[in-house]
């Protein structure tokens, strides 16, 4: 086991311009966005006037109790939707971005590190058609990476609109034949285990809290152990890889390490934090990860 702090080579269309004051200033393609960032507790490098001048759109919370919902204030010329491209080595795909009511825009740039890892694992597998399962798959960056690398991809998310968004990204990337599943991830893996299905790669990106399409509750600390236990039965015993990302503040990576060690006994893995660096050289933690290839 090794604990790492990784700052990935993020997509060329992205830059973290500044952080601080519980906010972050980011460029996605041609457009600069200002969003809340609870971990940026330090002072900003740029002045407030500079932030206001640079930002094409700024997110404002509805209230302090609900930090993840609110409204965007946009300048003239800021579109509702636009495209960004990811390219690293032979890996290429496109993703549509949008200003959502939950401050997200459709991409997590730090995940470029895992997209490259997926590509490398699939190249090493040398399977004719490796099967990859992407759970809590959101707008599908990992699904696109796996598909572009030649995998047979099953993409699972409980929100139909998000799965439609993912399909748009697939089509914009000139890819095809991703299997789309609108379902509660926990229910889906339970059924897959009963069916005797297996995968060469499993990717998990679970939220702290969530709802399935039929109102099923997802609570990370209550269900993550059972979910990983089921995944251990779905993952091929050799020539396979496993990735989990967690964004829940206060959920120590040691917890994930202990769970994975109990369900994959004897398996070595790497664990750590993914970081993004702003223009002043300060590292912003964006979540924890654990992954292995066997």
Residue pLDDT tens, the chain, 294 long: 556 777 776 788 999 999 999 999 999 999 999 999 999 999 999 999 999 999 999 999 876 666 667 899 999 999 999 999 999 888 899 999 999 998 999 999 999 999 999 999 999 997 889 999 999 999 999 999 999 999 999 999 999 999 999 999 999 999 999 999 999 999 999 999 999 999 999 999 998 888 888 888 888 889 999 999 999 999 999 999 999 999 876 788 899 999 999 999 999 999 999 999 999 999 999 999 999 999
How far apart (Å, rounded) are the C-alpha atoms in residues 211 and 189?
Answer: 16
- Going by the DSSP 8-state scheme, the letter that residue 110 receives in this structure is G
What per-residue confidence (pLDDT) applies to 287?
92
Q: Is 21 left (phi over 0), alpha (psi -120 to 50) or beta?
A: left
Q: What is the rounded distance in angstroms from the CA atom of residue 144 to the CA atom of residue 132? A: 11
pLDDT (0 to 100) of residue 68 = 65
Instruction: Supply angle C-alpha 92, 240, 87, rounded to 5.
Output: 10
Buried b / exposed e across 120-135, counting CB within 10 Å, b at 16+?
ebbeebebeebbbbbb
Please tell me the predicted confidence (pLDDT) of residue 6.
76
Per-residue pLDDT at 67: 60
Domain 110-293 belongs to what topology? Rossmann fold (3.40.50)
Query: Residues 11, 86: contact at Cβ < 8 Å?
Result: yes
Number of H helices, E strands in the chain: 7, 17
């Amino acid at each position: 086991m090794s604990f790492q702090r990784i700052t990935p080579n993020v997509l060329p269309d992205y830059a973290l311009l500044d952080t601080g004051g519980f906010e972050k200033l980011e460029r996605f393609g041609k457009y600069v966005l200002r969003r809340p960032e609870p971990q940026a507790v330090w002072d900003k490098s740029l002045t407030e006037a500079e932030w206001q001048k640079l930002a094409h759109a700024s997110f404002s919370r509805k209230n302090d109790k609900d930090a993840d919902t609110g409204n965007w204030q946009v300048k003239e010329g800021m579109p509702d939707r636009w495209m960004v491209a990811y390219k690293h080595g032979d890996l290429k795909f496109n993703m549509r971005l949008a200003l959502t009511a939950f401050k997200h825009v459709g991409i997590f740039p730090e995940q470029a590190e895992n997209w490259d890892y997926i590509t490398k694992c699939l190249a090493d597998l040398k399977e004719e058609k490796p099967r990859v399962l992407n759970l809590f798959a959101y707008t599908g960056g990992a699904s696109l990476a796996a598909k572009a690398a030649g995998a047979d991809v099953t993409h699972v998310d409980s929100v139909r609109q998000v799965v439609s968004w993912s399909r748009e990204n697939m089509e914009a990337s000139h890819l095809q034949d991703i299997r789309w599943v609108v379902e509660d991830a926990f229910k889906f893996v339970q059924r897959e285990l009963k069916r005797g299905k297996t995968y060469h790669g499993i990717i998990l990106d679970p939220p702290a809290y969530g709802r399935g399409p039929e109102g099923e509750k997802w609570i990370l600390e209550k269900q993550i152990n059972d979910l990983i236990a089921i995944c251990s039965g779905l993952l091929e015993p050799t020539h396979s890889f496993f990735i989990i990302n967690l964004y829940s503040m206060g959920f120590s990576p040691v917890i994930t390490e202990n769970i994975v060690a109990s369900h994959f006994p004897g398996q070595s893995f790497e664990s750590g934090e993914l970081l993004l660096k702003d223009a002043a050289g300060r590292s912003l933690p964006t979540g924890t990860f654990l992954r292995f290839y066997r």
